[in-house]
Amino acid sequence: MNTPEDTSLTRRSFVRLSALTAGAGILATSPVPRAFGATAGSDRIRVGLIGCGGRGAGAAKNCLDAAPGVEIVALADLFPRQTERLRERFKVPAEMCFHGFDNYQKLLATDVDLVILAAPPGFRPSHFAAAVAAGKHVFMEKPVAVDPVGARAVIEASRLAKQKGLGVGVGTQRRHQASYQEVMKRIHDGDLGELVGGQCYWNGENIWFREKKEWLADLTDFEWQCWNWYHWDWLCGDQIVEQHIHNIDVMNWAYGGPPVKFSGMGGRQNRGSIPGNIWDHFAVELEYANGSRVTSFCRHAPKTMGRVGERVVGTKGTSDPSRWIKGSKPYEFSGPAVDPMVQEHTDLITSIRANNPINDGIRIAESTLTAIGGRMAAYTGREISWSWLLNGSKLDIFPKNPAPGPGIFGSVPIPGETPLV
């Protein structure tokens, strides 16, 4: 089920990675990173943040809290106002703040040891490939792509990162949360019996939107869309990819890998006149290798009940994998609570300092691609397979050379009319 851990790069893979990194002027054969001291906290770790929005700022703070000896020394974002609002907070000099569509290239040319990638998801494959080519350790926020071509590029760059001894951590904090870890260990040990189904949810209210007024009026349409990145599939991947990936990743964790089939439905009902082409609700069925079917629900709608979580069903009981199992072998987690959004950075930094770096790149690419598969099945009204999604789909919706200019205002997908690519 899982993508093979073969780290060899085919000629086609190398060509694709070269295309992603060419604009940065960085060669994939660049030196491996400076080794940190074996004693945790003994060496300074210089961190650069690419993408200075709310999640980027939060991830940078989590990284600082994760271990001693960590410093934020560089900031990069498309918009100068974003780096300005963080420069004093993290005490970063003006000459280490970079802007424009090449902001990440400028930051990667500095002597940072680790980069946090938190720009809109559509940028992630190119930013990640360039960071790996530059020999930087990486922490990247989820999701890591918006289409199958991007997800495959992340898989290839992850293999190269492993060859180069680079750490790759990802923002799926449930994987680093003690309660999830303990319950999942018991599920994998058979305490639920054979898994036969489950449900996962990310249902919430409406999301933010920024009208094109005041300083935004001076932006080109493309730049304004980047500022409003959540509202277009080529920038965010839609809600099922951008947010619901957390819960889908948990289901893949429980089942030991991604599904083999996808089908789904959904639509756009509650956004009114707000620009954008993403949907506001999905209901997707994920079929895993043993025949189990998991239902996935996500929604953005005002004045509605919120629900975020997962439920796993086995022949011997049921589980909320965040804390308990009910059935023939009941269990409830009672250990100490540690912030998993800090712990995920602690685990990455500890592994780098021990010269045994974590590399979660392939795993997060698989979970991202799982969410993309659910979206594609719902958008098209077709059943699709994991094998085709991983190896056959040519869908590539993010522009090759993002730059100021005309916007990309795609239509709202309509099942039965949207082609399966």
pLDDT digits (tens, 9 = 90+) for 126-169: 999 999 999 999 999 999 999 999 999 999 999 999 999 999 99
- Which domains are assigned to the chain? 11-174+344-360 (3.40.50.720), 175-336+369-391 (3.30.360.10)
From residue 252, alpha-carbon distances to 93, 147, 249, 260 in Å are: 42, 19, 5, 11
Tell me the sheet residues that pair with 309.
Answer: 201
Is 22:310 a contact under the CB 8 Å cutoff? Answer: no
DSSP 142-167: SP--SSHHHHHHHHHHHHHHHHTT--
Q: Does the pLDDT at position 10 exceed 80?
A: no
Type of residue at 106: K
Q: Which two tokens stand for residue 346?
A: 């602690």
Confidence of residue 108 (pLDDT cuts 50, 70, 90): very high
Spatial contact of 176 and 347, defined as CB atoms under 8 Å apart: yes
- Type of residue at 317: G
The answer to whether residues 51 and 120 touch, using CB atoms and an 8 Å cutoff, is: yes
d(CA 36, CA 40): 9
pLDDT confidence band for 19 (50 / 70 / 90): low
* Amino acid (1-letter code) at residue 219: L
Alpha carbon distance 40, 349 (integer Å)? 8
Q: What is the mean pLDDT of the chain?
A: 92
**Model-level pTM?**
0.92
**pLDDT exceeds 70 at position 320:** yes
User: CA–CA separation, 11 vs 16, rounded Å?
Assistant: 9
Closest CA to 76 of 65, 64, 84, 68: 84
* pLDDT digit string, tens, across residues 387-421: 999 999 999 999 999 999 999 999 999 999 999 99
Predicted local distance difference test score (pLDDT) of residue 228: 96
Asked if residue 120 has a cis previous peptide bond (ω within 30° of 0), the answer is no
d(CA 318, CA 213): 50
Region 170-174 average pLDDT: 98
Angle made by CA atoms 90, 94, 97, in degrees to the nearest 5: 75
376 CA to centre of own chain = 17
Pairing of strands 293-300, 281-287: antiparallel
Instruction: Supply the pLDDT for residue 272.
Output: 84
* Residues 289-293, mean pLDDT to the nearest whole number: 98
Nearest by Cα to 253 from 180, 357, 303: 180
Supply the DSSP symbol for 319: E
For residue 42, pLDDT beyond 70: no
Q: Is the pLDDT of residue 109 over 80?
A: yes
Provide the pLDDT confidence category of residue 182 given band limits of 50, 70 and 90: very high
Q: Tell me the pLDDT band of 20, cut-offs 50, 70 and 90.
A: low
* Token pair of 378 as six digits: 């719902």
